């Protein structure tokens, strides 16, 4: 069973570290996501972290260009690689902001 550690810091890439069952670090990867805006960390809200089929699935909500966006990040739990980054939902416009 692998354990993942997520590290978020303003204006820096998301760092994901993977540890094995003996608590030894097996991987450390910095991810520069194409959808997550790392320059506005105060506008990003953590919505949930789940273990789905052995992958770590992280949900984030951010405000970008006046719209609310729900982003799903899937990480491989063995090597801390980013499997998928997907926009799950977005508010229709600036006046009708959707909260996820």
Is 0.75 topped by the overall pTM?
yes
How many Cα atoms occupy the beta-carbon half-sphere of 10 within 13 Å?
4
Domains of the chain: which residue ranges? 3-90
pLDDT at residue number 1? 62
Q: Are 91 and 70 in contact (CB under 8 A)?
A: no
Torsional sign, CA 51, 55, 56, 57: negative
* Residue 64 CA, distance from chain mean position: 15
Contact (Cβ atoms closer than 8 angstroms) between residue 26 and residue 19: yes
Cα(7)–Cα(13) distance, integer angstroms: 9
> Of 50, 38, 53, 3, which Cα lies nearest the Cα of 23?
3
pLDDT tens digits along 23-71:
899 999 999 889 988 777 667 889 999 999 989 999 999 888 888 899 9
């Amino acid at each position: 069973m692998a354990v993942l550690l997520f590290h978020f810091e303003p204006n820096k890439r998301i760092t994901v570290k993977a540890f094995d069952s003996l608590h030894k670090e097996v991987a450390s990867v910095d991810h520069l996501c194409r959808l997550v805006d790392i320059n506005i960390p105060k506008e990003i809200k953590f919505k949930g972290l789940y273990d789905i089929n052995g992958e770590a699935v992280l949900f984030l909500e951010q405000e970008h260009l006046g719209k609310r966006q729900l982003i799903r990040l899937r990480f491989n739990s063995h090597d801390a690689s980013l499997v998928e980054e997907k926009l799950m939902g977005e508010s229709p416009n600036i006046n009708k902001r959707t909260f996820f």
